[in-house]
Amino acid sequence: MGRLISPLICLLAVAGSLQAQNDDAARRIARELAPAVERAVGLKFRREPVVAVRSREQVRQFLNRRIAEQFPTAEIRAVERAYKAFGLIPDTLDLRRLLLDLYAEQVAGFYDPDSSALFIVRGADPTMIRMVMAHELVHALQDQYMSLSRIMKLRRQNDRQTAAQAVTEGQAVFASMGALMPGQDMPDLSQAWSAVREGIRQQQSAMPVFASAPQIVQEGMLFPYLGGAEFVRTFNQRRSQPDEQPYGERMPVSTEEVLHPSRYTANDRPMRIGFAPAGHDTLVYDDDFGEFETRIALETWGASEAQAIAAAAGWNGDRYEVLGSAGGTVVVWALAWDTPGDATEFAQALRQAWERARGRGAAGRRWQVDSLVVSGTSVVRLVDAPSAWQGWSRLPAPRLTRLAR
């Protein structure tokens, strides 16, 4: 779900008494913080960012429009059907309503790349205003050096967009902390990740919608901030020039690169996977999960966090298709692996997890996990379909090419 809008989830509070109840007050705070943000990022504003205050209802209306733009009704219903087909969200969930409620619950400020404007929510917690403003100023600065709207508009490239969001949100977390606490060592968020996630989940009264959301949604919203901040921390430690940025050609193309800095340094590009046309079936939706969501999927299906992390290591690209057939929904998922051993470990974990989630097969359905070799690369393929599906006689064959940066 990488291309969903990422609101600012306030993970850390910074004491302060300033409030932004009108545009002039918000602009004063922005001007005060801008030099510190520039130093923390290593770039200069090419132009002063537009800053304004909006009511919570105006923000909700904006988010409603943005979701409608990014996800037309047919598109979001297809995404919803795909994640339900994989058992990652409940069959009764209205995904569009959940997203709108989540963002309205959490958002305290946001940067809109279409208008190049930064907005603060009127009435936001005054102890959070400086953190929110610094975070969104980083986004405004990023947008003057790369196109944030281009990232948001990627289609059917979930993993690539999640990786890009990890850079933008992670840098905003890391740099805003540096701007507000200059000279202090930034914490290693990889060590605090579990504690922060659990702390947020336990805030039922403060964020009841988030606390009750499916794991794939919760983790997908947290990863760009926490995983991204750790990636940026590592990137900053290794860069040779203070203005060197993970933008453009240096932008990670997969969550594997975000999760494993050594993969990023080695320019380890994953395989692009495709399938032959669906024949008599109708393509409902296709996309990829990436290493990060593959981990979360395994956990959702019953694997422990440690098992999921180990099984997803060695990921080298994936693609899924959800098809509509005469007998019902068909799920096809193919994943490439670095080594035959990685493929074997994942295939075993997937069989165990899928059996826990699906059983040996619902009435009128069957599934199987196959280990293949395609163009010299180890591939694991999952197929779950009606027992009478015509495709069982000739299963969709994965085709591999190397993903370009």
Helix axes 215-238, 290-300, angle to 10 degrees: 140
The residue with tokens 């039922």 is: 204
CA distance 294 to 300: 10
Higher-confidence residue: 221 or 193? 221
Give how far Cα 197 sits from Cα of 9, 140, 388, Å: 11, 27, 43
What tokens were used for 172? Answer: 């905003």
pLDDT in tens, 197-248: 566 556 555 788 888 899 999 999 889 998 999 999 999 988 888 789 999 8
List beta partners, residue 50.
117
pLDDT in tens, 121-141: 887 766 678 889 999 999 999
Mean pLDDT of 142-149: 90
pLDDT in tens, 67-94: 788 778 888 999 999 999 999 999 999 9
Average pLDDT, the chain: 87
What tokens were used for 390? Answer: 């015509």
Higher-confidence residue: 136 or 4? 136
Q: Which residues contact 216 (CB under 8 A, 6 or more apart)?
A: 1, 83, 88, 89, 293, 296, 297, 300
| pLDDT the model gives residue 8 | 39
Q: Does the pLDDT at position 360 exceed 70?
A: no
| pLDDT the model gives residue 91 | 94
Q: Which residues contact 143 (CB under 8 A, 6 or more apart)?
A: 111, 113, 116, 149
Q: What stretches of 217-314 adopt beta strand conformation (E)?
A: 271-275, 282-287
- Total length of the chain: 405
Q: Which residues contact 396 (CB under 8 A, 6 or more apart)?
A: 275, 276, 278, 321, 332, 334, 381, 383
Domain positions in the chain:
23-265, 271-402
pLDDT in tens, 42-64: 999 999 999 999 888 888 888 88
End-to-end alpha carbon distance in the chain: 21
| pLDDT the model gives residue 18 | 41
Q: Closest by alpha carbon to 386, among 358, 357, 366, 359?
A: 366
User: What is the percent of the chain where pLDDT is above 70?
Assistant: 86
- On whether the CB atoms of residues 252 and 258 are closer than 8 A, the answer is yes
pLDDT in tens, 149-187: 777 777 788 999 999 999 999 999 999 999 988 776 666
Least confident of 17-26, 197-206, 319-328, 333-342: 197-206
Q: Does the pLDDT at position 355 exceed 70?
A: yes
Q: What stretches of 235-357 adopt beta strand conformation (E)?
A: 271-275, 282-287, 315-325, 328-337
Report CA torsion sign: 346, 347, 352, 356. positive
Neighbour tally for 49: CB within 10 Å: 21
| pLDDT the model gives residue 11 | 35
Q: Does the pLDDT at position 350 exceed 70?
A: yes
| pLDDT the model gives residue 194 | 63
| pLDDT the model gives residue 26 | 86
Q: Does the pLDDT at position 308 exceed 90?
A: yes
